[in-house]
């Protein structure tokens, strides 16, 4: 019998939740989001562990096709640095998205748990992220929500692969398509997305490269380049492109690493490096002197960042515990038509 994880992803439309339960054992909740919870599962026939994202279709407004888009994108994605889809079960009220289970936690947590950390580590991590982004863009996919929380480690080994996760805001694009939806996470959002509210007509996949720049900035320094408790102030900082790199931790970062950050956090999207150009940068090619120095000073900032994120997440999860407890059982309801979006 072949392994479930090696088969092509399948979509089971108009099925009952009972079919899902016949195929999988459902375990503990491992994540909670606004529209979904993620549970650990096990494929009964082979014993393979999986992750099952349980999405409540009724939480989406009429005309919102982002769930369809997410599934269509996942069906096309096949890259070592992107989460792998196994199956989708479309039931009356919920959709169950079965993917590979990664057990290494989030990238930020992994770094803060390390006993040491240097530029070589940061370079290896961001190279994997860029490899995944380059693949997505070459296949006409823009992620639109790249952030540290969506960078997951495959297992507890060190080193181990990084996986880009959460394709809930992703979308296909082509030269004739228009990207104009205001979306993303505040600290990682590109200035041209914010420009939509000021009358700009569209943006490009370069928005992902801005987010990669923010991620790299944090990997090197331990803090966000753009930060403010007031979103309006935060967004003005982002639109100006003026980031704070005056912290003493930057004294221990190589000039080439700083140069790559500067070439990614460019307000003019047409001048921002593409994923391919970033991968060819001297710092990522290992041609930089002083590019393996210690970043121990940055880890203190990272721990503070991780603690702040954990506190916010705990509050959010508590407010969703009641829904998470009832996310598998679904009473009878009329089936909603699942129509591929274009």
Render pLDDT for 311-334 as a digit per residue (tens, 0 to 9): 666 554 555 454 444 455 544 433
Domain 12-101: give its CATH superfamily: Phosphorylase Kinase; domain 1 (3.30.200.20)
Which whole number is the average pLDDT over 142-157?
93
- 267 token code pair: 């307000």
107-309 and 12-101 share a CATH fold: no
Segment 43-83, tens digit of pLDDT = 999 999 999 999 998 888 877 888 899 999 999 999 999 99
Please state which CATH number belongs to domain 107-309: 1.10.510.10
State the Cα angle at 82 between 86 and 277, rounded to 5°: 155
In 10 A of CB 324, how many CB atoms?
Answer: 17
* 53 is annotated as contributing to ligand binding: yes
Active site (catalytic) residues: 145
Helix or strand holding residue 309 (H, E): helix 296-319
Average pLDDT over the chain reads 84
User: What pLDDT is attached to residue 61?
Assistant: 80
pLDDT band at 336 (very low <50, low <70, confident <90, very high): very low
Domain range annotation of the chain: 12-101, 107-309
Segment 97-138, tens digit of pLDDT = 999 999 999 998 888 887 788 899 999 999 999 999 999 999
């Amino acid at each position: 019998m072949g392994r479930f994880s090696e088969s092509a992803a399948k979509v089971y439309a108009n099925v009952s939740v009972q079919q899902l339960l016949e195929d999988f054992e459902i375990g503990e909740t491992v994540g909670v989001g606004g529209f979904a919870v993620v549970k650990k599962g096990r494929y009964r026939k082979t014993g393979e562990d999986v992750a099952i994202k349980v999405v409540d279709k009724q939480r989406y407004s009429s005309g919102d096709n982002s769930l369809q888009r997410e599934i269509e994108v996942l069906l096309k994605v096949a890259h070592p640095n992107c989460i792998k889809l196994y199956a989708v079960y479309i039931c009356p009220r919920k959709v169950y998205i079965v993917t590979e289970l990664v057990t290494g936690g989030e990238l930020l947590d992994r770094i803060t748990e390390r006993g040491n950390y240097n530029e070589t580590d940061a370079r290896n991590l961001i190279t994997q992220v860029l490899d995944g982004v380059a693949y997505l863009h070459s296949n006409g996919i823009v992620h639109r929500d790249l952030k540290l929380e969506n960078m997951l480690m495959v297992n507890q080994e060190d080193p181990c692969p990084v996986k880009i996760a959460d394709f809930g805001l992703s979308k296909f694009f082509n030269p004739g398509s228009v990207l104009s939806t205001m979306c993303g996470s505040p600290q990682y959002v590109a200035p041209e997305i914010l420009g939509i509210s000021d009358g700009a007509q569209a943006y490009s996949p370069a928005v992902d490269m801005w987010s990669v720049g923010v991620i790299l900035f944090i990997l090197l320094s331990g803090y966000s380049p753009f930060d403010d408790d007031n979103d309006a102030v935060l967004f003005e900082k982002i639109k100006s492109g003026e980031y704070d790199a005056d912290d003493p931790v930057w004294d221990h970062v190589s000039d080439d690493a700083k140069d790559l950050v500067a070439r990614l956090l460019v307000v003019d999207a047409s001048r921002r490096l593409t994923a391919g150009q970033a991968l060819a940068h001297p710092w990522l090619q290992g041609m930089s002197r002083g590019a393996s120095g210690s970043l121990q000073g940055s880890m203190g900032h990272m721990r503070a960042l991780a603690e702040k994120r954990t506190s916010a997440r705990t509050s959010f999860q508590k407010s969703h515990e009641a829904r998470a407890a009832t996310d598998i059982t679904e009473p009878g309801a009329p089936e909603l038509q699942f129509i591929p979006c274009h």
